[in-house]
């Protein structure tokens, strides 16, 4: 994979607004301003003489506070789309605006700054550092955001409490169940108070009880006004969202609102 690292230290992370606090961007106010706005986005992977068109002309707009599921078969471009939405990679063509900012042509440093400030990530494989305790894993995005040490621990512990792991803060990932590990990674995603949560098959490695658990956390994050985009191939998981987007061969083939409580 050519994707960029999830968290990168950016000295200027806090310089812009002169504060150590993450930007407060949860004021949804019912405004229709899209937080995610893609116009004719293409992504071609090239290695040697081979090229793969992973995304082909994706036009998509997501309103702040929306809860969207992205569905599609393996290889359809879901992870590629999430990498672009999350500023982990940039489109080959087309335009992507995140919260009004055109990020299509940004350099890695600017992208890293945007990731640190705005986005929380959850992955299928948890992506936790095995040698670090739960709270150390959760504080990591705060390290990169330049938050002072004492405040970091307090916020990491608080985030772990919010996912029901107050009694596991010193456990390492290997000492936790899969469901608990994913809850640690949800805590890591929310510790910076991001307005956008991106999750790539977050329940793909979980049993049904842990899946329900993690979906409950996403529902809470959505109810708090955050925008949630969850990639999944499980209809039950997609059924939680307010809107479902289907992609096939790198193109959006269906995009519809989901009636509350009715999985499609």
| Dihedral sign from CA coordinates of 103, 240, 262, 211 | positive
Cβ-contact 224, 216 below 8 angstroms: no
Task: Indicate which of ligand ADP, Mg ion, none lies near residue 76 (CB less than 5 to 8 Å, by partner kind).
Answer: ligand ADP
Task: Indicate which of Mg ion, ligand ADP, none lies near residue 107 (CB less than 5 to 8 Å, by partner kind).
Answer: none
Cβ-contact 246, 254 below 8 angstroms: yes
Please say which residue, 79 or 137, places its beta carbon nearer to ligand ADP. Answer: 79
Is there binding between residue 229 and ligand ADP (CB under 6 A)?
no
| Dihedral sign from CA coordinates of 169, 174, 179, 182 | positive
Interface region with Mg ion, contact rule CB under 5 A, candidates 77-85, 86-94, 178-186, 217-225: 77-85
Task: Indicate which of Mg ion, ligand ADP, none lies near residue 156 (CB less than 5 to 8 Å, by partner kind).
Answer: none
Task: Indicate which of Mg ion, ligand ADP, none lies near residue 195 (CB less than 5 to 8 Å, by partner kind).
Answer: none
End-to-end CA distance of the chain: 32
Give least dist CB 104 to Mg ion, A: 22
List the structure tokens of 147: 């938050």
d(CA 33, CA 67): 15
Provide the b/e sequence for 58-71 (b: ≥16 CB within 10 Å): bebebbbbbbbbbb
Task: Indicate which of ligand ADP, Mg ion, none lies near residue 72 (CB less than 5 to 8 Å, by partner kind).
Answer: ligand ADP
Among 49, 74, 208, 259, binds ligand ADP (CB under 6 A): 74
Dihedrals φ, ψ of 249, to 5°?
A: 45, 45
Using the 8-state DSSP alphabet, how is residue 106 labeled?
-
Is there binding between residue 76 and Mg ion (CB under 5 A)?
no
List the structure tokens of 110: 């600017």
Tokens 């969207």 belong to which residue?
Answer: 68
Site string (51-70) toward ligand ADP, x via CB under 6 A: -x-x----------------
Interface region with Mg ion, contact rule CB under 5 A, candidates 60-68, 72-80, 89-97, 207-215: 72-80
CB atoms closer than 10 angstroms to residue 43:
22
Is there binding between residue 80 and Mg ion (CB under 5 A)?
no
Is there binding between residue 79 and Mg ion (CB under 5 A)?
yes
List the structure tokens of 143: 């390290």
Interface region with ligand ADP, contact rule CB under 6 A, candidates 5-13, 73-81, 96-104, 150-158: 73-81
Interface region with ligand ADP, contact rule CB under 6 A, candidates 45-53, 132-140, 150-158, 211-219: 45-53
Which residue(s) pair with 63 in the sheet?
34
Among 10, 25, 79, 192, binds ligand ADP (CB under 6 A): 79
Is there binding between residue 80 and ligand ADP (CB under 6 A)?
yes
> Where does this chain bind Mg ion (CB under 5 A)?
78-79
């Amino acid at each position: 994979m050519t994707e960029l690292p999830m968290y990168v230290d950016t000295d200027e992370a806090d310089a812009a607004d002169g504060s150590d606090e993450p930007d407060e961007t949860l004021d949804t106010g019912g405004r229709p301003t899209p937080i995610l706005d893609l116009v004719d986005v293409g992504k071609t992977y090239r290695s040697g003489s081979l090229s793969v068109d992973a995304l082909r002309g994706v036009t998509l707009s997501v309103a702040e506070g929306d809860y969207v599921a992205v569905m599609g078969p393996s290889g359809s471009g879901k992870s590629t789309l999430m990498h672009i939405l999350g500023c982990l990679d940039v489109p080959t063509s087309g335009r992507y605006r995140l919260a009004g900012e055109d990020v299509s042509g940004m350099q890695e440093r600017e992208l890293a700054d945007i990731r640190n400030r705005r986005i929380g990530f959850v992955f299928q494989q948890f992506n936790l550092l095995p040698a670090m305790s739960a709270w150390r894993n959760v504080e990591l995005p705060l390290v990169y955001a330049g938050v002072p040490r004492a405040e970091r621990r307090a916020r990491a512990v608080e985030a772990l409490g919010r996912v029901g792991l107050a009694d596991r803060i010193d456990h390492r990932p290997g000492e936790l169940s899969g469901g608990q590990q994913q809850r640690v990674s949800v805590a890591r995603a929310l510790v910076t108070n991001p307005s956008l949560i991106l999750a790539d098959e977050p329940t793909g490695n979980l049993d049904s009880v842990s899946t329900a658990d993690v979906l409950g956390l996403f529902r809470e994050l959505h109810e708090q006004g955050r925008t949630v985009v969850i990639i999944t191939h499980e209809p039950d998981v997609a059924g939680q969202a307010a809107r479902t987007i289907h992609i096939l061969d790198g193109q959006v083939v269906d995009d519809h609102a989901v009636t509350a409580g009715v999985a499609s």
